[in-house]
Structure 1
Amino acid sequence: MLGVGYYIYVDTKSRIDITGITPSTTTVDLNIGWNSIGWHNFTKTKAENLGQNITNCTAVAYWNVTLSRFIVHPVSTDISDFDIERGMACFVYVTTSSTWTD
């Protein structure tokens, strides 16, 4: 599904190639609670910027492989404002159902 983030577990160094046409826009329906989305833009963004552009988003998170834990950015704070790059999946927490259009 376009715009949804996927996490894939592997136990050895791996590579995955996905081919196709890069969409100009993506629309994802978000439910109350945590939702997984995928960042397909060539331009990276910050967790704060993503959170501010999603209606009623209160947190953005991702799994940090090196630390083996989630890094959570509470929206409207300076805490853990991480970079989001092309191909990265992250979680967004919303307090109301909404639609994210990228």
Structure 2
Amino acid sequence: MSVEVVLPGVLADLTGGAKHLHVDGGGTLGALLDAVAAEHPRLDRRIRDEAGALRRFVNVYVDGDDVRFTGGLDAAVPDGAVVQVLPSVAGG
């Protein structure tokens, strides 16, 4: 199973500049993030908190669907999916 993880520049800094990660593994978002964490632990700490839950200021989409409404870490991530990770932006 191969999944593409798309990151904005602010998070790509934690992957050596890569904005697109091709990750083998998944099935669920949690399993996919475990695979990402094995290669990029600093990125994982920006996406998940100490308990392993998604941080509330990070939005994650699987093929355009917000995982907050499709199961969170249990959201299905099919083969060939595109997972987009976007930190919330605040201020003005």
TM-score when normalising by structure 2: 0.38
Pick the structure with more strand per residue. 1
TM-score when normalising by structure 1: 0.35
Q: Which protein shows a greater Rg? A: 1
